[in-house]
Homo-oligomer: A and B are copies of this chain.
Amino acid sequence: MVEEITSMEEDFAKWYTDIVKKAELLDYSSVKGCMVIKPYGYAVWENIKSLLDSRFKATGHENVYMPMFIPESLLQKEKDHVEGFAPEVAWVTHGGSEPLSERLCVRPTSETLFCEHYANVIQSYRDLPKLYNQWCSVVRWEKTTRPFLRSREFLWQEGHTAHACAQEAIAETEKMLDVYADFCEDVLCMPVIKGKKTESDKFAGAVATYAIEAMMHDGKALQAGTSHYFGDGFARAFDIKFSDKNNELKYVHQTSWGVTTRLIGAIIMSHGDDNGLVLPPDVAPVQIVIIPVAAHKEGVAEKAAELKARLESRFRVKLDVSDNSPGWKFAEYEMKGVPIRLEIGPRDIADSRCVLVRRDTGEKSFVPLDRLEAEAERLLGELAESIYEKALANLKNRTYSCASVDEIIKTLCEKGDGFIKAMWCGDEACEDEVKEKTGVSSRCIPFEQEDLCDKCVCCGKPAKHMLYWGKAY
A residues engaging B (CB < 8 A)? 27, 29-31, 34-39, 42-43, 45-46, 62-71, 74, 86-97, 104, 106, 113, 116-117, 120-121, 132, 136-137, 139, 141, 152-153, 155
Contact B90 A27 (CB under 8 A): no
What's the minimum C-beta distance from A450 to chain B, rounded to whole angstroms?
Answer: 41
| Residue picked from A30, A34, A86, most chain B C-beta under 10 Å | A30
Given contacts A65-B36, A67-B29, contact A96 B88 (CB under 8 A): yes
Instruction: Point out the residues of chain B lying under 8 angstroms from A152, CB to CB.
Output: 95
Contact A66 B117 (CB under 8 A): no
Given contact pairs A30-B74, A30-B116, A31-B70, enumerate 6 new A-B contacts (beta carbons under 8 Å): A27-B117, A29-B116, A65-B155, A68-B153, A88-B96, A95-B141
Instruction: Point out the residues of chain B lying under 8 angstroms from A36, CB to CB.
Output: 64-67, 113, 117
Contact B37 A71 (CB under 8 A): no
CA distance A307 to B143 in the complex (A): 57
Some 30 contacts from A to B, beta carbons below 8 A apart, are: A27-B120, A29-B66, A29-B113, A29-B116, A29-B117, A30-B116, A31-B67, A34-B67, A34-B69, A35-B65, A36-B66, A36-B67, A37-B64, A37-B65, A42-B63, A42-B64, A43-B63, A46-B63, A69-B153, A86-B96, A87-B96, A88-B95, A88-B96, A90-B92, A90-B94, A90-B95, A91-B95, A92-B106, A95-B141, A96-B141
CA distance A39 to B46 in the complex (A): 21
Contact B92 A96 (CB under 8 A): no
Instruction: Point out the residues of chain B lying under 8 angstroms from A89, CB to CB.
Output: 95-96
What's the minimum C-beta distance from A299 to chain B, rounded to whole angstroms?
Answer: 27
What's the minimum C-beta distance from A61 to chain B, rounded to whole angstroms?
Answer: 9
CA distance A69 to B19 in the complex (A): 25
Instruction: Point out the residues of chain B lying under 8 angstroms from A39, CB to CB.
Output: 62-64, 132
What's the minimum C-beta distance from A37 to chain B, rounded to whole angstroms?
Answer: 4
Instruction: Point out the residues of chain B lying under 8 angstroms from A30, CB to CB.
Output: 71, 74, 116
Instruction: Point out the residues of chain B lying under 8 angstroms from A106, CB to CB.
Output: 68, 92, 106
CA distance A364 to B352 in the complex (A): 59
What's the minimum C-beta distance from A149 to chain B, rounded to whole angstroms?
Answer: 16
Instruction: Point out the residues of chain B lying under 8 angstroms from A139, CB to CB.
Output: 68
User: Residue of B at shortest CB range from A116?
Assistant: B30
Contact A93 B94 (CB under 8 A): yes
User: Residue of B at shortest CB range from A35?
Assistant: B67
What's the minimum C-beta distance from A228 to chain B, rounded to whole angstroms?
Answer: 21
CA distance A404 to B113 in the complex (A): 53
Contact B87 A65 (CB under 8 A): no
Contact B66 A121 (CB under 8 A): no
CA distance A92 to B33 in the complex (A): 15
CA distance A43 to B137 in the complex (A): 19
What's the minimum C-beta distance from A70 to chain B, rounded to whole angstroms?
Answer: 7
Instruction: Point out the residues of chain B lying under 8 angstroms from A67, CB to CB.
Output: 29, 31, 34-36, 153
User: Residue of B at shortest CB range from A97?
Assistant: B87
User: Residue of B at shortest CB range from A34?
Assistant: B67
CA distance A71 to B32 in the complex (A): 10
What's the minimum C-beta distance from A54 to chain B, rounded to whole angstroms?
Answer: 12
Instruction: Point out the residues of chain B lying under 8 angstroms from A43, CB to CB.
Output: 62-63
Instruction: Point out the residues of chain B lying under 8 angstroms from A37, CB to CB.
Output: 64-65
Instruction: Point out the residues of chain B lying under 8 angstroms from A96, CB to CB.
Output: 86-89, 141
CA distance A137 to B66 in the complex (A): 11
CA distance A46 to B398 in the complex (A): 43
